Structure 1
């Protein structure tokens, strides 16, 4: 059995979804040189947001962490469709946005949902620089959004 990223996803009980179609004028991912830049990914499944609202008011931090994992999975699907996950050399940077209720300061824990996924799929190559930012609103009233930059071979 392979040790590649697809095998790791299977071990985690996860499968790559279809690439989420853009909701505006952009593409899901673009390659420039040795890097792939993935557009902000929302927690979409089967064309629908899995949740809406603010983290800390209607969306729990634990639920938001799961939603961030889904954002990460959608990002992996975008990378796979463009260059293939087996060509990822390093996850370089992850930026996570959390639609936060006033007083909610647990953004880093929420974005761990995506960070932990990349670590589980890519091992040491999945360790990355990161920002976890609280925002007032996200597109479509999504609770979380994740964008990622990866180095590819």
Structure 2
């Protein structure tokens, strides 16, 4: 495969009208992703689009659950970019093992699983059976930079 040929995963993203972004620059002292054995562990990915957060605040107060679900998908795009940066080709993914989604939540908001579905559904669309995973959807008081959502992945690759 040459650099000008998109992977099958990237072709599926393109079919959905999505492109893999540049790897988001870390906002503190860490790297976007590391490998250990046949696994990639991503750092928590915020929903940056071209270096900017498109929304901020608490889900259920400042951000609607629908907006947050879409932002969770953006987090996955950033996580996939981080995965590609350490394994070179997303077609090497054999399984998404775990997704952890954090949702900055208004105290009355209890729909965290629906928000994190934005991440899970996108992984299923682009990776098929390899995108089926275990998951946690956690409500938190605040996230870095007042982001409404943050997602991290554990991915197995060959």
Counterpart of 1:51?
Answer: 55
Query: Normalising by structure 2, what TM-score?
Result: 0.94
Give 5+ residue unaligned stretches, structure 2: 1-5
Residues 28-67 of structure 1: pairs in structure 2 closer than 5 A = 28-67=32-71
C-alpha displacement of 1:3: 8.0
Q: Deviations over 1:122-141 (max 9, x none)?
A: 00110000000000010000
Determine the structure 1 residue equivalent to 2:97.
92
Displacement of 1:68 in angstroms is 0.4
Please state how far the C-alpha of 1:50 moved relative to its aligned partner. 1.2
- 118, 121, 146: which one aligns with 2:151: 146
How many equivalent pairs are there?
153
Deviation digits for residues 23-46 of structure 1 (CA, Å, limit 9, x no counterpart): 000000000000000000001011
Q: Secondary structure at the match of 2:77?
A: helix
Alignment partners' CA distance in 2, 1:94 and 1:58: 24
Deviations 1:45-104 (A, max 9, x none): 111111100000010000000000000010011111211201100000000000000110
- Structure 1 unmatched ranges of 5 or more: none
Residue 25 of structure 1 corresponds to 29
TM-score normalized by structure 1?
0.97
- What is the SS of the residue equivalent to 1:41? coil
Q: Secondary structure of 1:21's match?
A: coil
Task: Flag the structure with higher strand content.
Answer: 1
For 2:7 and 2:130, how far apart are their aligned partners in 1? 13
Whole-angstrom distance in 2 between the partners of 1:8 and 1:82? 20
Question: Who is 1:113 aligned against?
Answer: 118
